[in-house]
Structure 1
Amino acid sequence: MLTNLQSLNFCELRYSQIRLIHLLKQCLELFFSTFCEQSQLTCSRQSTSHSALTRQRFKIRRSRLLEDAFDQLSLLSEEDLKGPIRVSFINEHGEEEVGIDGGGIFKDFMENITRAAFDVQYGLFKETADHLLYPNPGSGLVHELHLQYFHFLGSLLGKAMYEGILVDLPFATFFLSKLKQKYNFLNDLPSLDPELYRHLLFLKHYNGDISELELYFVIVNNEYGEQCEEELLPGGRHMRVTNDNVITFIHLVANHRLNYQIRAQSTHFLRGFQQLIPKDWIDMFNEHEIQVLISGSLESLDIDDLRSNTNYSAGYHPDHELIEMFWEVLKSLSSDNQKKFLKFVTGCSRGPLLGFQYLEPKFCIQRAGVPGLEEHADRLPTSATCMNLLKLPPYKSKEQMQTKLLYAINSEAGFDLS
């Protein structure tokens, strides 16, 4: 019995070692492939910047952010898209906002335009039950130029990845497959419509006479209150679903929802995306890894890594008493609040895949207010996401700092919060 137990323990240990080796191999492959892509993108950016004689400059009204950007940037060639783009904002009074775009204003522009364009209220994208984004099949009912907009949004996402700008856009897996030009199947349906998936599985395992259910090879689309029936096969309205053809019916329904309905939107989005990100680059990654490249790491916030890659200004330094207090407060926050903090200061709730040394520009903590003025110690912290900057007042206690910080990061305010 002891021999059997020793043999069992050895097998368990051996199995654990094999699993660990496999996991390490996956991590190394991801790191290497990501490093390769980062290197290729960097070389491409450097090559483009050397060849670009002039920078593209655009004036964008904040009140018509998406429309102005579409009208101007969608006319750019592939070479121009890869080159430096500089933006100046026009405020509600028609005046150009003060500021020199050294990259920070463009990052602010990218954060704001992606937030506006991919908002489900705008009508180009919809959300799954898990709040993951995918193209709205009925986008043509909302926007006459919807396909041109999808091409534009594809190039925007490509530009963000090309420049290493993280954007908080959680995409549905079946849509990310389209960036790899892959076909979706029945097993992908739960991520879009789990209820429909359950109904189709019910049909697959139904023991009775399926023809009695009075189903036909049609599917009903309901977009903005308008119902229309589409045939899954020519003559589908007159083709009853039976035990003999039910498997064909199930796969046709899944194909319609996952591929056919969004085929035009996905095709135009992909064309725009590939203006900056070639297919052979994106093919190095699976869908999960692509999402990480778009929005950053899914891991918990690495406070120590962030701290070792932080700059300080206006009187603060790494050993300042208040800075020591700040890092203690940040470590004490819940994982959700740490993500909210990161979004508050950088515009994205996730850190860069390879660590904060790749955050551009580096996170900076700046003393807020004028030294010696007591009233500044009662203000809330503010941020400038375009510069990854936290403006931190000189609070008198850890409790006060935590209260003010939690209020600020949960208020979804920013530059002028006080």
Structure 2
Amino acid sequence: MDEAVKLLEQLGKQLSKDAEDALLAGIITLLNEQCSRKNYPDVECLRFFLVAPLLHLFARPELFENLHSGFAFCLTQLDPVPTRVLTGWLAKLPTRHFARLLRTFKAVAPHVLALPAHTTRAGALAKERGLTGCMRLMRLLHSANADRGDSALVRSSFYLPDLNNRVDIEKDYILWVQHKGQPDHFSFCDYPFVFDGEAKTKLLRADAQLKMHQAVQQAQTQNFFSAMTMAGGMVNPVLLLQVRRDNLVGDAISHLSKFPPEELRKPLRVKFVGEEAQDEGGVSKEFFQMIFREILDPLYGMFRSFDSNLIWFNFVSLEDASLFHLIGILCGLAIYNNFLAGVAFPLAMYKKLLGLKPTLEDLKELDPTIGRNLQHLLEAESAEDVESLMLTFEIEFDYYGELRRQPLSDRPDEPVVMGNRQRYVDAYVDYMFNTGCKESYAAFHDGFHKVCGGHVLALFEPAELRAMLIGEEDHFDWAQLQKNAEYLGVYYAKHEVIVNFWSVFHHDFTEAQKRRFLHFLTGCDRVPMQGMSAVKIRIQPVHGGAAYLPVAHTCYNLLDLPVYPDKDSLRRKLTQAIEQTEGFALV
């Protein structure tokens, strides 16, 4: 490939304008002739599809209508056998060549989207054909990338970052739902790998708003006819959850388990019994913080914690399935209503929710010690090394202080040897993530999908779904946090106390302290998937003097900041306050 690149680069430099035009016309003619062809007499003919994009002509996205579109359609309509051959070649391409191929066709979409709207049907169809062809080719590259192992490009390599500014993503999703299965309708939702986190957040919000609107509209219609006919009671257009602070879990189970899916998809409003506070978002946020902290408490014994600071289903939990069903519903409601949840599940949980199979790599994340031991077993070079471990097809676990064994096959006393070690590892992983927690996970899965099931979930990858629930552990744009700030009372952006506050925050605090402050302010040390722009901070003055510490109302991201006389006082008191933080933090 390197030689081909050098040769074609030299050719591009030496071609005259007339020769270049002739070459372009020749390629377009060839593509038009081959456009209906689905197979070739020899696989060597397929090398054209690897070499042709190296031509300098493909670096010009303005040629999309004939060159890129024609090439993409020729390639993506091949029969399954030649497609598999090409995909295999692409998976083995050196990273620099694979990345170049991706950049070539990825550049077409922004160019086409930036073009002015066509007034003719033919012009509009040409734009759509250009987008369709290049998106199909990018889908092929995305599939090949999944087989590239350690040399795979990162997920963000496929993102179209300008998509949010060029496309009405919510409208695109609604039309996709309405026209799903119709081959003549183009939608970016058929190519979800091009959506970045912000775009997928919009998709989920669009889906939630659509279903919430439908639920509210249905309730309003039912209320109208009930009023007209004097039959039946009125239907609440929101999901009103009334709970007592001293019986949070019990009340939540009692109410949420009775609601059908369409009720759970209404906008959530929480009311604590005996309290007057109206839920404008803050009460729901407090509810999620409290109930996740309580229900995931080790005292319940529902989940087992690991050295990785992650949790997984307890194989010997004595709790009823209704509790796991409740946690699934709560996770779905948190995502659906745009709240972060303090649940330290491994990536395997989100894989299972999306119908994907956990692997040994997932076990390494959850339980690094066991994962490494199993990896060493697979890498052992001699039969003696394997047999010296004296393993059998069993798994040991703690049952309330008593060591118990669970068979991994019909022959639990079968020794692990070179010939069956892969089967042993596969059985171990399967037990950890599937067999050992079958009933508990099934209840959790049903609860989650009762709220979040539908078309939009399939557009997410596991890591993205995790970020929707617990937030991102990077992307800390602290300057954006300051831009989002709102000041109350006598405070304003240039007030001495506010200037001192941001000076301490930006220049005196370490990165760890900044995250600690975020934890102090919001109850969580992570950022929503849509970034820091979604985190709003409100700062208000309080009386009482410089002896008092700042106080955070995490339900409202509200900071009570006393009027400290100088920067040093502010630094000391703010540092002391954030070191006493409660809330949830995920490592």
TM-score, normalising length: structure 1 = 0.84
Q: 1:18 to 1:377 in 2, by over 3 A?
A: farther
SS in 1 for 2:482: helix
State percent identity of aligned pairs: 28
Structure 2 letter corresponding to 1:170 = A
Structure 2 letter corresponding to 1:386 = C
**49-58 vs 68-77, which moves further:** 49-58
Deviation at 1:57, TM superposition (A): 3.9
**41-50 vs 326-335, which moves further:** 41-50
Q: 1:263 to 1:171 in 2, by over 3 A?
A: same
Cα pair 1:368 1:391 within 8 Å, conserved: yes
Aligned partner of 2:308 in structure 1 is 130
Question: Residues 182-221 of structure 1: matches in 2 within 5 Å?
Answer: 182-204=356-378, 205-209=380-384, 210=386, 214-221=390-397
Aligned-residue CA RMSD (Å) = 3.0
State how many pairs are aligned: 390
SS in 2 for 1:236: coil
Q: Which has the higher helix share?
A: 2
Structure 2 letter corresponding to 1:37 = L
Counterpart CA distance in 2 for 1:407 and 1:343 is 14
Which contiguous aligned blocks of 4+ residues in structure 1 show a shift greater than 6 angstroms? 14-17
Aligned partner of 1:365 in structure 2 is 539
Which runs of 5 or more residues in structure 1 are unaligned?
A: 1-5, 91-95, 370-374
Q: 1:39 to 1:397 in 2, by over 3 A?
A: same
Question: Residues 55-70 of structure 1: matches in 2 within 5 Å?
Answer: 55-70=238-253
Counterpart CA distance in 2 for 1:241 and 1:318 is 68
Structure 1 letter corresponding to 2:490 = G
Counterpart CA distance in 2 for 1:98 and 1:32 is 37
Deviation at 1:85, TM superposition (A): 3.7
Aligned partner of 1:400 in structure 2 is 569
Structure 2 letter corresponding to 1:26 = Y
Aligned partner of 1:156 in structure 2 is 330
Higher normalized contact order (CA 8 Å, seq sep 6+, divided by chain length): 1
**250-259 vs 265-274, which moves further:** 250-259
Cα pair 1:367 1:391 within 8 Å, conserved: yes
Structure 2 letter corresponding to 1:217 = F
Question: Residues 2-401 of structure 1: matches in 2 within 5 Å?
Answer: 18=100, 23-26=156-159, 28=161, 29-30=195-196, 31-52=198-219, 53-54=235-236, 55-90=238-273, 96-140=274-318, 143=319, 145=320, 147-204=321-378, 205-209=380-384, 210=386, 214-237=390-413, 239-332=414-507, 333-359=509-535, 362-369=536-543, 375-401=544-570
SS in 2 for 1:383: strand
Deviation at 1:412, TM superposition (A): 2.1
Q: 1:213 to 1:400 in 2, by over 3 A?
A: closer
Cα pair 1:183 1:259 within 8 Å, conserved: no
Cα pair 1:368 1:393 within 8 Å, conserved: yes
Which runs of 5 or more residues in structure 2 are unaligned?
A: 1-5, 8-93, 104-152, 162-194, 220-234
TM-score, normalising length: structure 2 = 0.61
For the pair shown, the structure with the greater C-alpha radius of gyration is: 2
Cα pair 1:326 1:401 within 8 Å, conserved: yes
Structure 2 letter corresponding to 1:342 = L
SS in 1 for 2:530: coil
Counterpart CA distance in 2 for 1:196 and 1:17 is 36
SS in 2 for 1:248: helix
Q: 1:252 to 1:49 in 2, by over 3 A?
A: same
Aligned partner of 2:3 in structure 1 is none
Counterpart CA distance in 2 for 1:348 and 1:213 is 43
